[in-house]
Amino acid sequence: MDEPRQFLLRALKAAIDAALPAQRVKAFLPEPRAGRTIVIGAGKAAASMAAAVEEHWVGPLSGLVVTRYGHRARTHRIEVIEASHPTPDGAGEAAARRMMDLVAGLGSDDLVLCLISGGGSALASLPPPGLSLADNVSINKALLRSGASIAEMNAVRKHLSLDKGGRLAVAAAPAQVVSLIISDVPGDDLSVIASGPTVADPTTREQVEDILRRYRIGAPPAVADFLSRPEAETPKPGHPAFCRVTNRLIATPQMSLEAAAQIARDHGVEPILLGDAIEGEAREAAKVFAGIAKSARRYGAPARAPCVLLSGGETTVTVRNGGRGGRNAEFQLGLAIALDGAPGIWALAADTDGIDGSEDNAGAFVGPDTLLRARALDRSAQAYLDANDTYSFFEKLGDLVVTGPTLTNVNDFRAILVV
């Protein structure tokens, strides 16, 4: 087996490679139709998905996709727009408006090819009449700090944007709509990924109001007024527009975990897959994973060393202070504290899109000496965790995982190696 850090990096690379659009798009492309083919899309992988479509599509096509700043891929026929994530901006609003205009007025012989991946909720946000981008930004920022799950956040977003919650599919009717989707959500719920622009929405505006109450998010007056009106409701299952929609899931977190598991087997390490849908507060989830890792080291359960615990999903962070860091670094610092220098255990946690939150790292490493090296630098791990300043903690130790934008996104990847 490689040195622990190199082994963990190999596992991460395998997970990312398994979800690259260049490997996944071709097999899921639809047959061309007699009319026009319009490509639209939103998400961190949207530009690389568009590039893969151009490489393999036979016949004319045009359109545009929106991706995160710095996540551009080279295209020739499909325009790529960059916008802000995780907070919407004017570029994303303009892109969403243009996409809705592109699909309006199409006929039954036309095809809309929609490229959807995680991040699309923030990257394409089109407020309905009476609401402003500032209203959506305010709600979005509050949700990100609240500890709400991705399903809860996207239920709110779907009701406050004209291109989400199935509304895009309704706008495109009677054209045929085929969506190629890369999942970044627990359970691969199509209605949650990028807020389900081409998927019927089972959530209601009453549920949205309840979410805002539970997380003590004060809605701007315009938002509260809009949610009280019937037009705030999203298209539901049974709407006739969805009869002409096909949603194809082309890459998932589980596929990436299985690719990492094969790397482990190739290196004589037993993989233990703990699930692709782990949710909850990052620092609390870390305590559970630390207990499993210590059990494997001490008692050979659930597996004997060498083994690696693999998991995916999307944890959350309730932001209490103004530090820097995303959920993967938060998980890792919580893990380091819970392990407390336990021998023979190394870990990597990273976001597969290459960006953990809003910083320049994908995640962080943890090893048996993490806390010892921090103390030598007079750094209190608990103080940094309390301040939500996990990026700064791992930066000081040289233990950030930096990949740059990967141009795909199947959410969090965690690997805990026990030797």
CATH of the domain at 150: 3.40.50.10180
Query: In the predicted model, is pLDDT for residue 46 greater than 60?
Result: yes
C-alpha separations of 351 from 202, 219, 406 in Å: 28, 30, 10
Are 71 and 166 part of one and the same domain? yes
Are 84 and 219 part of one and the same domain? yes
Nearest by Cα to 325 from 357, 371, 284 = 357
What's the rounded mean pLDDT across residues 354-382?
Answer: 95
User: 240-258, pLDDT tens digit by residue?
Assistant: 999 999 999 999 999 999 9
Are 236 and 275 part of one and the same domain? no
Domain stops at, among 251, 284, 317? 251
List the domain range (segments joined by +) for residue 389.
Answer: 4-14+254-418
3-state secondary structure of 16: helix
What's the rounded mean pLDDT across residues 175-198?
Answer: 96
Are 258 and 381 part of one and the same domain? yes
Q: Tell me how far apart the alpha carbons of residues 239 and 368 are, in angstroms, rounded to a whole number.
A: 55
What total of structural domains would you count in the chain? 2
Pairing assessment for the beta strands 307-313 and 412-418 based on DSSP bridges:
antiparallel
Percent of the chain with pLDDT strictly greater than 70: 100
Domain stops at, among 204, 225, 251? 251
User: 388-405, pLDDT tens digit by residue?
Assistant: 999 999 999 999 999 999
What would the two tokens of residue 230 be?
Answer: 């019937």
Are 118 and 236 part of one and the same domain? yes
Are 243 and 259 part of one and the same domain? no
pLDDT score for 147: 87
Domain stops at, among 216, 231, 251? 251
What's the rounded mean pLDDT across residues 200-210?
Answer: 97
pLDDT score for 322: 74
pLDDT score for 321: 80
Contacts 24+ apart (CB under 8 A), 135-141: 135/160, 135/220, 135/222, 135/223, 136/88, 136/160, 136/161, 137/87, 137/88, 137/89, 138/220, 139/212, 139/217, 139/219, 139/220, 139/223, 140/86, 140/87, 140/88, 141/87
What's the rounded mean pLDDT across residues 216-240?
Answer: 95
Percent of the chain with pLDDT strictly greater than 90: 95
Are 274 and 217 part of one and the same domain? no
Residue 358 — pLDDT band, cuts 50, 70, 90? confident
Q: Tell me how far apart the alpha carbons of residues 321 and 21 are, in angstroms, rounded to a whole number.
A: 37
What's the rounded mean pLDDT across residues 335-339?
Answer: 98
Residue 319 — pLDDT band, cuts 50, 70, 90? confident
Q: What does pLDDT average to over the chain?
A: 96
3-state secondary structure of 245: strand
Residue 1 — pLDDT band, cuts 50, 70, 90? low
- The Cβ of residue 194 has, within 10 Å, a number of other Cβ atoms equal to 35
Are 243 and 307 part of one and the same domain? no
Strands (DSSP E) found in 175-326: 176-182, 245-251, 270-273, 307-313
Query: In the predicted model, is pLDDT for residue 312 greater than 70?
Result: yes
Are 227 and 323 part of one and the same domain? no
pLDDT score for 6: 97
CATH of the domain at 383: 3.40.1480.10
pLDDT score for 323: 82
Residue 369 — pLDDT band, cuts 50, 70, 90? very high
